[in-house]
Amino acid sequence: MADVLTRLAAALDEVIGRHPAETVVMIGHDSVNRILLLHALGLPLSRYWRIRQHPCAINEIDWEDGEFTIASINQTDHILLGE
């Protein structure tokens, strides 16, 4: 997980650097999403299982003034089941 965090942090730095005031959509697997959320929240990797991520879930993370703000986690309202 530490290797994933290292690669993820480098990718985030690049994306933020290229698109500082834009909305960007990033797509990842649940493991990457959990590690991203832990990073954004300033939590250790040991808290990995404390964040739930369903398939196709949406997380909204804002970046402003050098800090992350979590707007939503694990949103699945867009998924229509049984139709």
Rounded mean pLDDT, 18-44 = 95
- Predicted TM-score (pTM) of the model is 0.89
Residue 57 and residue 76 in contact, taking contact as beta carbons nearer than 8 Å = yes
pLDDT at 82 over 70: no
pLDDT at 31 over 80: yes
The span from the CA of 63 to the CA of 1, in Å, is 23
Q: What's the burial of 16, exposed, middle or buried (CB within 10 Å: 0-12/13-18/19+)?
A: middle
80 confidence band (pLDDT: 50, 70, 90): confident
Q: What's the burial of 57, exposed, middle or buried (CB within 10 Å: 0-12/13-18/19+)?
A: middle
pLDDT at 42 over 90: yes
